[in-house]
Amino acid sequence: MTEPLRLGIAGLGTVGAGVVKIIRQKAALLTERTGRPITISAVAARNRDKDRGVSLSDYAWEDDAVALAKRDDVDVFVELIGGSDGPAKAATEAALTAGKDVVTANKAMLAHHGQALAQLAEDNGCVLRFEAAVAGGIPVIKALTEGLAGNDITQVMGVMNGTCNYILTRMENAGLSYDQAFDEADKLGYLEADPELDVGGIDAGHKLALLAAIAYGTQVAFDAVELEGIGKVSIADIRQAADMGYKIKLLGVCRMTGRGLEQRMAPCLVPATSPLGQLDGGTNMVMIEGDQVGQIVMRGAGAGEGPTASAVMGDVMDIARGTRLSTFGQPASSLKLVTAAQVATPAPYYLRMGLIDKPGALAKVATALGEAGISINRMRQYDQTNDAAPVLIVTHKTTRAALDIALVAMNATGVVAGDPVALRIESV
């Protein structure tokens, strides 16, 4: 009989417990599909006594993840601890150095240390797989590294943080303010321990950086991702976007240009009738454009026990079958250093501002836009609230650099109350 593939699982939170459940409940199916049994030798977590809804009595226990990674009876180290450094990184390095394959769901660790870990894996003849780190149950890593490997990728775009999509959806559907929707998401347990990882776009930015590395054969460059969270999006923006036929989404976009790699994670307007516009709740969606295949759209659960554990098991089963792939789809030594480029692809923009009741206020704003080379497509003025009148402007296509110049000029006019909100409009 073929020898079993023996796992050591570090981290027994929601996802880790989900992986244990799949292995216990679907043992026969896993063996049929891989040609060998998949078993668990040992596990590690902070609390040995916690009830995780699944029996762990059949497995050895390690208090130290590094010790687990070095065990002789572990073939694949499954890292589900989380965090960019600390125990997760130390244990992953220990496993790879010991010649063990690694499966991880840790986007933060890979976004910050992906190149070094990929090189370490290859130096030791190991594979490092991370399907569960991006978009939960959606097999987007496998799509890029395998199914679409014969394409030059022209663009990757998507909604990659279910918490942000939930908040924006609740604001629209229930008429909640940002703070109300945030509190609701928090009570439901959707937010990270540090909420800024979600609402600040950091979590989704980690995922975008990993996808960009695979799509364009570059070293992971999270520091080059332009990040903007959803904290400035108001219920007024949600309603006014809807009036114009748009939805607001935290949207990640990466593309290779003649100037370098553009990577952006920011709230944008998308057509309400588009696949992204119809994406509700905590669901994720990734759209990939290839020169041969055209546009591929993948949609599914972006988090949760079942979807993420499913992605972990997909990687484990590939290893059981003998599939050996480079971490980012090609040898780590061949990945190019990123030449980062600010997003300069022209697009229309949505602007919302409050104008102080002064003669010629609107003309001053129009002049600031015109002097920056920006023309106005549509404009609406609403009834005055407090000391300012809300004004909505949709521009014709322009660059963010030109818009930034106009925004500085607007603020210098003395007729704009507070900072204007500026959101890019994507045609998808």
pLDDT tens readout for residues 136-161: 899 999 999 999 999 999 999 999 99
247 counts as catalytic:
no
Which CATH superfamily groups domain 349-425? ACT domain (3.30.70.260)
Give strand pairing partners of 103: 78, 129
Residues forming CATH 3.30.360.10 domain(s) in the chain: 150-300
Per-residue pLDDT tens over the stretch 209-264: 999 999 999 999 999 999 999 999 999 899 989 988 899 999 999 999 888 999 99
Burial class of residue 362 in the structure, from the number of CB atoms within 10 Å of its CB (0-12 exposed, 13-18 middle, 19+ buried)? middle
Which CATH superfamily groups domain 150-300? Dihydrodipicolinate Reductase; domain 2 (3.30.360.10)
The answer to whether 235 touches 178, Cβ cutoff 8 Å, is yes
For 108, half-sphere exposure in the C-beta direction (CA atoms, 13 angstrom radius) is 16
Q: Which residues are annotated as a binding site for NADPH?
A: 107
Rounded percentage of the chain residues whose pLDDT exceeds 70: 99
Residues forming CATH 3.30.70.260 domain(s) in the chain: 349-425
Strands 416-425 and 260-271: parallel
CA angle 384, 388, 392 (to 5 degrees): 75
Q: Is the pLDDT of residue 1 over 50?
A: no
Q: Which of 70, 207, 249, 364 is catalytic?
A: 207
